[in-house]
Homo-oligomer: A and B are copies of this chain.
Amino acid sequence: MKITAQEEYGLRCIIQLAKQKDGEPLMVRDIADREGLSIAYVEKILWTLSRSGIIESVRGPKGGYRLTRPCSEIFIGEVMRALGGIPSSEEICGQFTGNHETCVHHGACDLEPVWASITDFVNSVFDRIPLSQLLQGKLEVKMVQLTPKSQANLVG
């Protein structure tokens, strides 16, 4: 179970945008400096995020990137999914080329419920944390609660 580089760096970049006052665009060069990444790489990551509509670009002098919404209305889950994100249990099972007869056709997959519970939970946590919360020192989420689906799987 791995956090990808896109996710880590993508979140860091968008946090830099969230720290910006007003709607002032922030230059790629500044983000790259602050996070210790190359300009080219930051450009690539921001381009990915802008395709999903979470951020937008301002061209020309004094240009840069900025959030399309206030940072209190942008949740980490949305950002993670834009960056490649958390696969669903169906995607995990479909991704691996093993014995599909047992798993898919006979409905005898032992692992699907495990992946379903984990990915469901991760999504539910990420969808509760707005960017604004990351800017404060302390991370807070009102309540940790599983979705009905993962409860059915996990809680006996």
Contact = CB atoms under 8 A, between A and B. Distances in A.
Contacts of A27: none
Interface in A5-58: 5, 7-9, 11-12, 15, 34-37
A102 B115 CA distance: 34
Q: Determine how many copies of this chain the complex contains.
A: 2
A117 B125 contact: yes
Nearest to A18: B110
19 contacts: A1-B2, A1-B4, A1-B86, A3-B87, A8-B92, A9-B98, A12-B98, A12-B110, A36-B98, A36-B101, A37-B99, A76-B114, A113-B138, A114-B139, A118-B122, A121-B121, A122-B122, A140-B155, A144-B155
